[in-house]
Structure 1
Amino acid sequence: MSLGTKIAWDDTVLPFQLDVSDMRGRVARLDGVLDGILKQHDYPEKVEALVAEMALLTALIGQTVSLRWKLSLQVQSKGPVRMIATDYYAPQQEGEPARIRAYASFDRDRLTDGAPFDQVGEGYFAIMIDQGEGTQPYQGITPLAGGSISACAEAYFAQSEQLPTRFSLSFGKSTEPGVGEHWRAGG
C-alpha cells in the first residue's frame, strides 16, 4: 500500500447503503486519532482497549447523527473501570474533520487478569446528544450487558431507538516494519 493510499484511509468513516438488502451503515478506521488519544494517558492495556472500543463506536455513531455540536458516549460502572467518556464534535464547516476525545477513570489496584470488559462492572451505557445553545439535550441510558461496549450500544439502539443495529469492531496494537507499535481500530 502506498503512503498516499494509507493516508487516505487513516481516521476515516465511510457511509454505505445496500439498496437491495435495505441496509445502511458505516465503515470506520481510526489510526492516528486513536493513537493520539491513548498516548495522552498512562492507561494499562485493558483500559486502552476499552477506550479504543468506545472511541471507535463514537466515530461510527457520531457520523450518522445530523449533529450541530456534540455527541457523547459514557460508561459508568462499579467495576475497576469506573467511567469511560467520549465526545464527538461535529465539523464546523463542510469538508472539515470531526474531533474525538476520550477519557477513562479507573482503580489500578482493582484491575483483574480478566478480559477488558471484565474490568467494567454493574452500571450503565449512555448516549447524549447536545445540539448546542437553545436546544434541549437528549440522553438515552441502558444497563451494561452483553460482554462488550459494542453489545451495550446494540442494546441501546434496540431498546431506545427500536433500530436493529450491529457493530463488528476490531482494535488493538499494530506493528509495522519501520514503525513503532501503535493503536488502530476498525469497524
Structure 2
Amino acid sequence: MAFDLSEFGVTPAGQDAVRPFAVEGLDVRGRAITLGPVVDSILERHAYPEPVSRLLAEAIVLTSLLGTSLKFQGRFTLQTQTDGPVSMLVVDFSSPEAIRACATFDEELVAAVIEAGAATPERLLGRGHLAMTIDQGKHMQRYQGLVELDGISLEEVARRYFARSEQIPTEVRLAVGELYTRTQGGGPNHKWTAGGVMVQFLPEAPERMRQPDLDPGDAPAGADVHIIDEDDAWVEAKALVDTVKDVELTDPSVSVEELLFRLFHERGVRLFDPQPIADQCSCSREKVKGILTSFSAEEVDQMTVDDKIVVKCEFCSASYEFDEI
C-alpha cells in the first residue's frame, strides 16, 4: 500500500537530505537519511573496490547524520587511522550541506580479504582509532573525540563515542545498497544508495539517562559490577530501531518519513525541516596556489615535472596545473 504523506501535511525530504525527528512519547530524538545521487557520485568518481566503497558509504552516512547536527557554521570531520587493509577513511562535512570523502587502502590486502570472503567492515578497518573533529573556525578551539577501533563496526563506533564522550545513550543503523537497472540501450546501469537512522535518549529528567560505569571504570579489582536497569522507554526505542532492515534504509521507494512512521506511529513521531546534503568539495585553484607558495624554491623544483606542477585533489579528483613561476 502506498504511503501518502499529503494526508499528514508533510512534504517528503527525498534523497540526499537528513530528516530530524522526535518521539516525545519515548523521550528520544534522532535523525534519518537516505542517500542517492550524492553517495553514488562520490563512489563512482573514486571507483574503489566494492567492499571499500561500501565502507566509505557507511562513513558518509554516519558523517551526514552527525555533521548536520551542528548549530553553527563549521566543519565536522570523521577520520580513521588503522592497521587494516583500509588504512584511512576521511569524510569531511562543511555546514550547512557540503560533504566530500575519500579512502586510502592497500590493493593487495583488500584483494586478499575479498578472496577469503572476509571483507567485512570490521576486517577492512582493523585496529587503530577513529577521530571525530569539530572545527568552529580559526577563532575557536577545535574539539576532537577519539574512539578505539578494535574490530568493531562504524555503528558500534557511534554508540561508544556518545556513551563515553557525551554520556548519551545512542543507537545507530547504517546500510549500503546497489541498484541495477537497464539503460535505454539495454546495457546495465549501476547506482549506489545508502541510508541510516540514529536515535538518542534525551529525557527531561537527567537521572533517567544513568548508565553503568564503563568497564573497567574506576572500581578496584574484584569489586561488584555496577548494574543499572535501562529505562523502559529507551529499551522500547532500541528494540524498534533494531527491527529496521537494510533494504528499508536503501530502497529509494521507501522515504525516511515512511520508515519513521513504520517505527514510531504508535507513539507518534514529530518531524522537523529536512537538511540537504550536497556532493561539494572545498578545493579551489586559489587554495592550492596558496599551499604551493608556502614551499621553498627547492621543494617547488622537486615537484616540477616537464616545467609543470600538477596537483590532484584526493576528494574530488580535480587537477590543478601550474608552471614554476
- TM (norm. structure 1) is 0.88
Which of 74, 85, 88 is the matching residue for 2:90? 85
Cα distance between partner residues in 1 of 2:180 and 2:31: 25
Residue 144 of structure 1 aligns to a residue whose secondary structure is: strand
Call closer, same or farther: CA 1:31–1:116 in 2, change over 3 Å: same
Name 2:133's counterpart in structure 1: 128
Name 1:184's counterpart in structure 2: 193
Name 1:31's counterpart in structure 2: 36
Residue 37 of structure 1 aligns to a residue whose secondary structure is: helix
Call closer, same or farther: CA 1:145–1:151 in 2, change over 3 Å: farther
Residue 58 of structure 1 aligns to a residue whose secondary structure is: helix
Which of 164, 167, 175 is the matching residue for 1:159? 164
Q: Which structure carries more strand by proportion?
A: 1
Which of 36, 50, 62 is the matching residue for 1:45? 50
Name 1:61's counterpart in structure 2: 66
Name 2:108's counterpart in structure 1: 109
Greater mean alpha carbon deviation, residues 156-165 or residues 168-177 = 168-177
Percent of aligned pairs sharing the same letter: 40
Task: Say whether the 8 Å CA contact 1:127–1:140 is kept in structure 2.
Answer: yes
Task: Say whether the 8 Å CA contact 2:122–2:151 is kept in structure 1.
Answer: no
Cα distance between partner residues in 2 of 1:135 and 1:169: 32
Larger radius of gyration: 2
How far off its partner does 1:82 sit?
0.4
How far off its partner does 1:81 sit?
0.5
Residue 132 of structure 1 aligns to a residue whose secondary structure is: coil
Cα distance between partner residues in 2 of 1:48 and 1:116: 10
Which of 11, 26, 38 is the matching residue for 2:16? 11
CA RMSD of aligned residues (A): 1.7
Point out where structure 1 has 5 or more consecutive residues left out of the alignment.
2-6, 92-97
Task: Say whether the 8 Å CA contact 2:70–2:95 is kept in structure 1.
Answer: no
Amino acid at match of 2:63: T
Name 1:144's counterpart in structure 2: 149
Point out where structure 2 has 5 or more consecutive residues left out of the alignment.
3-11, 197-325
How far off its partner does 1:161 sit?
1.1
Task: Say whether the 8 Å CA contact 2:74–2:94 is kept in structure 1.
Answer: yes
Residue 127 of structure 1 aligns to a residue whose secondary structure is: strand
Name 1:99's counterpart in structure 2: 98
- Displacement over 6 Å in runs of 4+: none
Higher relative contact order (CA 8 A, sep 6+): 2
Q: Alpha-carbon deviations, 1:19-51, whole Å to 9, x = none?
A: 111000011011111011111213101100110
Q: Alpha-carbon deviations, 1:77-130, whole Å to 9, x = none?
A: 011110001011102xxxxxx011111000011121312331111100110000
Task: Say whether the 8 Å CA contact 2:78–2:132 is kept in structure 1.
Answer: yes
How far off its partner does 1:146 sit?
5.8
Amino acid at match of 2:190: E
Amino acid at match of 1:130: D
Amino acid at match of 2:191: H
How far off its partner does 1:166 sit?
0.9
Cα distance between partner residues in 2 of 1:157 and 1:67: 20
How far off its partner does 1:149 sit?
1.2
